Homo-oligomer: A and B are copies of this chain.
């Protein structure tokens, strides 16, 4: 008997009722039935995004939606500002380079947050910057950036603010409209509790002005086509949508609505805090900042003398708990615990238990139960 606990920052666990929703007999997408479903999921996403802006759907991974931002907002030679402190900040930079933009890059070390003041300085010195690209939740490090502060700064300028919230949306607080985020990007396989294959972008009126000016060619990811589709009496997508994933989305959004965003964010904050406190109680060092905001992913330094791959293999094979390792230059340096989406106290307790048992097995000095007790104390304190 194997019992598995997927604790990676995407894909994430999926509620059984959502999985079963995705397995319903397929329906045709050019029907009133699908239009109603589609409109309902847009409304549900607006609730999660906390926005009145239009939201566009793509059958793609999150990267597809990120590319859609670049090709719809920009023209070759456009001056843009990329804020990068991890693999997904670098992705904005790669996209900007691929499409011939003139990218100014604010580059921070992995594990550090973006400094809003640096953005203010850049925008005041370089007043031709059209778009600012940031990452909300940097999946590769666990950092969650202060989008509220960044939004206040960019809102006072002519620049458009784009935030990748693929691993943040629905787990770390994100207020699209009141934080002045012009374009927010999300993906299905994180806190939205779905399989990968759907991605979303919300687009403000300020951003739409750039869409009208953009000269980059685009077809599949063309927001003008997507917008024409959702403005129809019977909303639709320009190309065949990922029907089964949209049906599943309808199911997961209902779960999110029932919990309510306040409770949802509180649950994630508590899981983040419990994980961090447990890890510290075990004598391990956090890699992601020890901050309330970092409620999506917790990154932990691999202790000296422990092989990261061996640790994770042991946790998976013997205890059924799957963590992620480090990406790129972080490989071997950190392990990452994802706790965004369909997770609660039970998953954190199991994960910390498996971590303790695995470290003990590998000969690392741990006091069995110390991390778990600390996590449980946090859950008790927070009233979980």
Query: Interface on A for B, CB 8 Å cutoff?
Result: 4, 6, 8, 10-14, 19-20, 22-30, 58-64, 67, 94-95, 98-100, 187, 189, 195-198, 216-221, 239-245, 322, 324
Contacts and interface: CB of A to CB of B under 8 A. Distances in A.
Nearest to A71: B217
A220 B58 CA distance: 12
B8 A14 contact: no
A22 B25 contact: no
User: Chain copies in the assembly?
Assistant: 2
A162 to B, nearest CB: 15
A100 B215 CA distance: 12
Contacts of A217: 98-100, 216
A23 to B, nearest CB: 4
A241 B23 contact: no
Given A11-B240, A58-B60, 7 more contacts: A19-B24, A22-B22, A59-B59, A59-B64, A61-B240, A197-B244, A220-B221
Contacts of A10: 240
A25 B14 contact: yes
Contact of A64 (B8, B19, B20, B220): B220
A12 B63 CA distance: 28
A30 B219 CA distance: 30
Contact of A196 (B14, B24, B242): B242
Given A189-B240, A240-B189, A63 B6 contact: no
A23 B19 contact: yes
A100 B218 CA distance: 11
A76 to B, nearest CB: 9
Contacts of A100: 217
Contact of A67 (B25, B59, B187, B220): B220
Given A25-B14, A28-B322, A98-B218, A59 B243 contact: no
A382 to B, nearest CB: 28
A227 to B, nearest CB: 17
Given A59-B61, A189-B240, A243-B195, A8 B28 contact: yes
A63 B219 contact: yes
A240 B99 contact: no
5 contacts: A11-B26, A11-B29, A19-B25, A189-B243, A242-B245
A22 B20 CA distance: 9
A19 B99 CA distance: 39
Nearest to A100: B217
Contact of A197 (B13, B59, B95, B189): B59
Nearest to A29: B11
Nearest to A242: B197
A43 to B, nearest CB: 22
A98 B220 CA distance: 11
Nearest to A187: B240
B244 A22 contact: yes
- Closest 8 A/B residue pairs (Cβ): A197-B242, A23-B23, A195-B244, A19-B23, A61-B239, A61-B240, A63-B239, A196-B240
A23 B26 contact: no
Nearest to A247: B195
Nearest to A325: B30
A212 B7 CA distance: 40
A244 to B, nearest CB: 4
Given A26-B6, A195-B242, A240-B189, A220 B63 contact: yes
Contacts of A94: 219
Nearest to A216: B217
